[in-house]
Amino acid sequence: MIHSPIKGLTALVVGAGSGMGEASAKTFAANGGSVVVADLRAAEAERVADEITREGGLAIPVALDVSRQADIDAAVEKTIQKFGKLDVVINTAALVRSAMLESVSLEDWRAGFQVNVDGALMVARSALPWLKQSSHAAIVNTASLAGVHGYSQGGAYGPSKAALITLSRQMAHEWAAYGVRVNVVLPGVIDTPMARGSVPQEILDQLATMLPMSRVGQPEEVADLIVYLASRAAGYITAQAIACDGGMSHMMFAKPMGK
C-alpha cells in the first residue's frame, strides 16, 4: 500500500508562476515532494518558491524561457545541483493569442507552437537523461479541451494544444522502455490569470451558467489531477489524455433541456 505517493520525488514545474502551474507546484510540495518552480517571470517564480518554503516545503525558483534551450538546460542543471535527481516534469507553460484563422499572423501562429509544442519537447528531452535514472519517472503536460474542440478566435492555441496531445502520446510510446510515463491533462474552463487575461469576465460568467456543474474550475482542482498522474499512485497510467472540465466535453447539452 502506498502511503506517500509523492514523498521523496523531485519535480521541475514549468509555468509555475501562476494559475495551474503554481497550484501544481504547491500541491506537489505539500505532499512531500521537492519542487523547482520555473517561470518566464523570475519574480513570480521567486514568490511561489518563497510561499512554498514558508509552508515548510522544499522549493527553489528558476527563471525559464521555454523557447531558449540554454534556459531549459540551466533549469535542469540547477535541479540536479540542488536535489541530486529529477523524477517528474510538469509542464503548464502556455501562450494564447486569440485570432480567427483567416487573420492570425504567421508570427503569432509560430509563437503559439513554439511555446506550446516545441517548448514541451525541449524541456522533456533535456530532462530525459535524468528521468531515465529515476524509478518513478513521469511527465505530465497540460493541453486543453481546445485541443480536441474548435472554438471561435482559437487561432494557434487549439491546433498547438492538439499537437501537444499527440506529442505526449508519442513520448509515452517511445519512452516507456525507459520507465518514463507520459500523460496529458485537458482542462476546461478554469479560473486562471491567463483565462481572465484572454476572455472578458462577462464571457466567463456566461460560460459558468452553461457548464454542467454551473461554475468554472479552480486551478487547484486541475493541480490535484496533475499531481496524481505524476505520483507513484498512477504507476500504470501512461499515454492518456484526461479531461478536467466538470463534464463539459461529454454533454450534448450543457444542462438538461428545459432546466
253, part of any domain: no
Number of domains in the chain: 1
Whether residue 259 is predicted with pLDDT greater than 60 in this model: the reply is no
Which pLDDT band holds residue 257 (cuts at 50, 70, 90)? very low
Give CA 18 to chain center in angstroms: 11
Q: Which of these ranges, 109-113, 124-128, 190-194, 248-252, has the smallest mean pLDDT?
A: 248-252
Catalytic annotation, pick one of 151, 157, 228, 236: 157
Does some domain include residue 126?
yes
Q: Is the predicted pLDDT of residue 113 greater than 50, yes or no?
A: yes
Burial (CB < 10 A; 0-12, 13-18, 19+), residue 102, is exposed
Tell whether 202 is covered by a domain. no
Report pLDDT for 88. 98
The pLDDT of 119-127, averaged and rounded, is 98
Predicted confidence band at 85 (pLDDT cuts at 50, 70, 90)?
A: very high
Q: Give the pLDDT band (50/70/90) at residue 205.
A: confident
Backbone φ, ψ for residue 204 (5° rounding): -60, -40
- Say if 252 falls within a structural domain: no
pLDDT at 258: 43
In a domain, 117, yes or no: yes
Q: Is residue 251 part of a domain?
A: no
Does 228 qualify as catalytic in the annotation? no
User: What are the pLDDT digits (tens) for 136-179?
Assistant: 999 999 999 888 887 766 688 899 999 999 999 999 999 999 99
Mean residue pLDDT across the chain: 91
Q: 120 phi and psi, to 5 degrees?
A: -60, -40
- pLDDT higher than 50, residue 230: yes
pLDDT at residue 248 is higher than 90: no
Specify burial of residue 109 (Cβ count, 10 A radius: 0-12, 13-18, 19+): middle
What CATH number does the domain containing 45 carry?
A: 3.40.50.720
How many residues would you count in the chain?
259
Q: Concatenated DSSP letters for the chain?
A: --S-SSTT-EEEEETTTSHHHHHHHHHHHHTT-EEEEEESSHHHHHHHHHHHHHTT-EEEEEE--TT-HHHHHHHHHHHHHHHS---EEEE-------B-TTT--HHHHHHHHIIIIIHHHHHHHHHHHHHTT-SS-EEEEE--GGGTS--TTBTTHHHHHHHHHHHHHHHHHHHGGGT-EEEEEEE-SB--HHHHHHS-HHHHHHHHHHSTTSS-B-HHHHHHHHHHHHSGGGTT--S-EEEESTTGGG-SSSS-TT-
The boundaries of the domain holding residue 51 are 10-189+219-243
pLDDT at 80 over 70: yes
Q: What is the pLDDT of residue 243?
A: 95
Q: SS3 letters for 69-125?
A: HHHHHHHHHHHHHHHCCCCEEEECCCCCCCECCCCCCHHHHHHHHHHHHHHHHHHHH
In a domain, 23, yes or no: yes
Cell 450534448 belongs to residue: 252
